[in-house]
Amino acid sequence: MYGQCMRPHGLVIALTLYASGCTWLLGVDNDYHKVTNDVSTSTSSTGSGCLDPETVCGDQCANTSIDPDNCGTCGNRCPAGIACQEGACACIGTLIACDGACVDTSTNPTSCGSCGHSCLGGQCSDAACQPITLITGQKGPSSIAVDSESLYWANSDDGTVMKMPLSGGSPTTLASAQSSPLGVALDSTAVYWTNHAANGSVMKVARDGGASITLASMQNNPYGIAVMGPNVYWTGNDGAIKTTSVDGGAPTTLASSQGTSTGIAVDATLLYWTSFSGGAVKKLPLAGGGPTTLASGLSNPIAVAVRAGAVCWTNNNDGTVMKVPAAGGAAVTLASGQQQPEGIALDTTSAYWTTSLGGTVMKVAIDGGPATTLAAGQDQPTGIAVDATSIYWTNTTSGAVMRLAK
């Protein structure tokens, strides 16, 4: 009889039994989370020794509505920094769960605006990536081009053509002592550019460097340049659209009397250009034939780009950005009120351009919609290029090359 715990009838007996180890009768529990067998201390007990709304998880009582180690069910542990709310792992306030962590997507540079949207080394402010300066000290950088590994640009003021790894590092001078190099284009092996002078030339150099090669000389202020397959194409002040082999040779005039022509673009079958002084955008079949006017009555169209059947250009004087189907049709305005729009580049969904007077880098959907300012306060942004992850441009006056994560 004395080897069992019996219900006592007095304080002395109760204290004696407590000392002997029969603690269930007083509900004594030195560990708050340990399960107790005394259900007489509360009418809201679950019957398992845990107080409602707790439940037994192992040898502990847990509130699975708020316990981060047992969230929703026993053993479901929330990642570090994530709270348990109403039985689900969740972030507090405006924080968002990204890869097991709660982040503020308005300022987080690896999840800017949304989970996983990296600013690629830039800062994140108001849920938007901010531009970063890749290099400074360039002398009048103008046109720019990009491939999978490097950036290329021309410095008109000091006559150099430059290359820089996208991964960072020091730039390489591919060519020097050029005469106001302007347009830049790429193919799989070489970099091409125009020397914009009265006795200008069309040039190339291997992407990995080497001796510069003159493809055409004695050209009248050649301006834009494009390359497709075995041929290189360019515009100029003499109103002629010309071509020659990527290996050089006598130039061929594809179209004449085009006025001062500036921008040029090419796809698999057609060549496109802007007649700056003639106020027109035109095209011509690569296989041969005369030019066709895609749009006329324009206000100094300066740069042109083509992708997936859409031809887009900037009108430098009236501040518009426009589009027309490559097959022909009505031209539409994508953006207006721009301050001297200059370079333009396209990806599969959007058009990007610089405004040299406005100091901005802009974006609009090719299918139409509101224009978005991607970067402001730039110092005469001119050339622009895009790849799958980023937008690149030159700030001509300050001598900087910039990048912004898309």
Q: What is the mean pLDDT of residues 288-293?
A: 95
Phi, psi of 11 (to 5 degrees): -65, -40
Q: What is the pTM of this model?
A: 0.82
Closest listed residue to residue 304, CA positions, set 333, 348, 344: 344
The string of pLDDT tens digits covering residues 18-39 is: 334 433 333 334 333 445 444 3
Q: What is the mean pLDDT of residues 366-387?
A: 98
Q: What is the mean pLDDT of residues 64-83?
A: 91
The string of pLDDT tens digits covering residues 127-140 is: 999 999 999 999 99
Q: CATH 2.120.10.30 occupies which residues in the chain? A: 133-405
Q: Comparing 26 with 205, which gets the higher pLDDT?
A: 205
Give pLDDT, residue 41. Answer: 40
Q: Comparing 16 with 332, which gets the higher pLDDT?
A: 332
Q: What is the mean pLDDT of residues 285-293?
A: 96
Cβ atoms < 10 Å from Cβ of 305: 23
Q: What is the mean pLDDT of residues 143-163?
A: 98
- Give the chain's mean pLDDT: 90
Give pLDDT, residue 330. Answer: 97
d(CA 263, CA 345): 12
The string of pLDDT tens digits covering residues 342-364 is: 999 999 999 999 999 999 999 99
Q: How confident is the model at residue 329 (pLDDT cuts 50, 70, 90)?
A: very high
Instruction: Tell me which of 13-17, 39-43, 107-111, 246-250 is least confident.
Output: 13-17
Give pLDDT, residue 82. Answer: 85
Give pLDDT, residue 42. Answer: 40
Q: How far is CA 286 from CA 186, 187, 228, 291, in A?
A: 18, 17, 10, 10
Instruction: Tell me which of 9-13, 252-256, 260-264 is least confident.
Output: 9-13
Q: What is the mean pLDDT of residues 391-395?
A: 98
d(CA 155, CA 162): 8
Give pLDDT, residue 47. Answer: 57
Cβ(191)–Cβ(152) under 8 Å? yes
Reported CATH class of domain 133-405: mainly beta
